[in-house]
């Protein structure tokens, strides 16, 4: 298979790419840090990837998305799986008092993803097969006081994916929304860990198996579906008082 990984140097993306490398697939990587991208590409070759190509790109530059994805398509031929993994974890309190910062975070976690999806949807419609998988978050299920800027961006993407899934279904293209819970990664290194936290490797295994099973919305790990069912079931009159 031919795999495109966007935001490839994130912890979950690296773990997922390693699974596909060990399965001898062709992989095209896109990320903004050239040094880390080079290291990952070499790691995947050592692990057995049939071929590894790469492109350095700051994914916040939406005007460059078309050219980047055109290049990925020209190298791979047709893309069997496109996995979008990039994102950032904003400082909620700072965003509440600085609109430009909030705008930047919503652009990174929301609008830049939709820009990529706009281009990918056209490519996948043309080839009439494949899977587009996007890492969102359980944070998008409900606006919590602790992270509603991040949650709003993720909710935007999840809603977009739901509509896109129906739009691309007649073209034999599947759209997968991956909603991880708490993940122990460099992005969350400053946060205290607990029993609900998972490793990037565990999330990667869930991503690969969910793509194989043709799922559409996946909580990773699965127990987050029950947790978020409980969270979303709390009446608003009570929920607005909870400092979650």
User: What sign for the dihedral angle of Cα 12, 14, 20, 23?
Assistant: negative
pLDDT at position 194 is: 80
Cβ of 22: how many Cβ atoms within 10 Å? 12
Name the nearest CA neighbour of 157 among 173, 135, 172.
135
Provide the residue count of the chain.
Answer: 244
The domains found in the chain, sorted by start residue, are 2-239 (3.40.50.720)
What are the pLDDT tens digits along the chain (244 aa)?
Answer: 999 999 999 999 999 999 999 999 999 999 999 999 999 999 999 999 999 999 999 999 999 999 999 999 999 999 999 999 999 999 999 999 999 999 999 999 999 999 999 999 999 999 999 999 999 999 999 999 999 999 999 999 999 999 999 999 999 999 999 999 999 887 787 777 788 899 999 999 999 999 999 999 999 999 999 999 999 999 999 999 998 8
**Going by DSSP bridges, is the β-strand pair 2-6/26-31 parallel, antiparallel, or unpaired?**
parallel
Contacts of 59 by beta carbon, 8 Å cutoff, 6+ apart: 6, 7, 30, 31, 32, 65, 86, 108, 112, 116
CA-to-CA dists, residue 241 to 138, 234, 235, 237, angstroms: 20, 11, 10, 7
Torsion of CA 127, 23, 39, 121, to 10 degrees: 20
């Amino acid at each position: 298979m031919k795999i495109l990984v966007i935001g490839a140097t994130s912890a979950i993306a690296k773990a997922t790419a390693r699974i596909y490398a060990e399965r001898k697939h062709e992989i095209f990587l896109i990320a903004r840090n050239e040094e880390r991208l080079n290291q990952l590409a070499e790691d995947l070759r050592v692990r057995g990837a049939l071929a590894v190509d790469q492109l350095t790109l700051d994914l916040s530059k939406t005007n460059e998305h078309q050219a980047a994805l055109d290049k990925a398509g020209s190298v791979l031929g047709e893309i069997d799986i496109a996995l979008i993994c990039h994102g950032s974890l904003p400082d909620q309190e700072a965003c509440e008092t600085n609109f430009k910062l909030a705008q930047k975070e919503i652009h990174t976690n929301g609008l830049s993803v939709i820009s990529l999806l706009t281009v990918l949807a056209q490519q996948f419609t043309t080839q009439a097969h494949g899977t587009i998988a996007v890492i969102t978050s359980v944070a998008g299920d409900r606006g919590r006081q602790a992270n509603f800027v991040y949650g709003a961006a993720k909710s935007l993407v999840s809603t977009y994916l739901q509509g896109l899934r129906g739009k691309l279904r007649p073209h034999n293209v599947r759209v997968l929304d991956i909603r991880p819970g708490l993940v122990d990664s460099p992005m969350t290194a400053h946060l205290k860990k607990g029993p609900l936290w998972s490793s990037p490797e565990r999330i990667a295994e869930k991503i690969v198996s969910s793509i194989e099973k043709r799922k559409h919305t996946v909580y990773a790990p699965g127990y987050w579906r029950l947790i978020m069912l409980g969270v979303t079931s709390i009446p608003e009159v009570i929920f607005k008082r909870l400092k979650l």
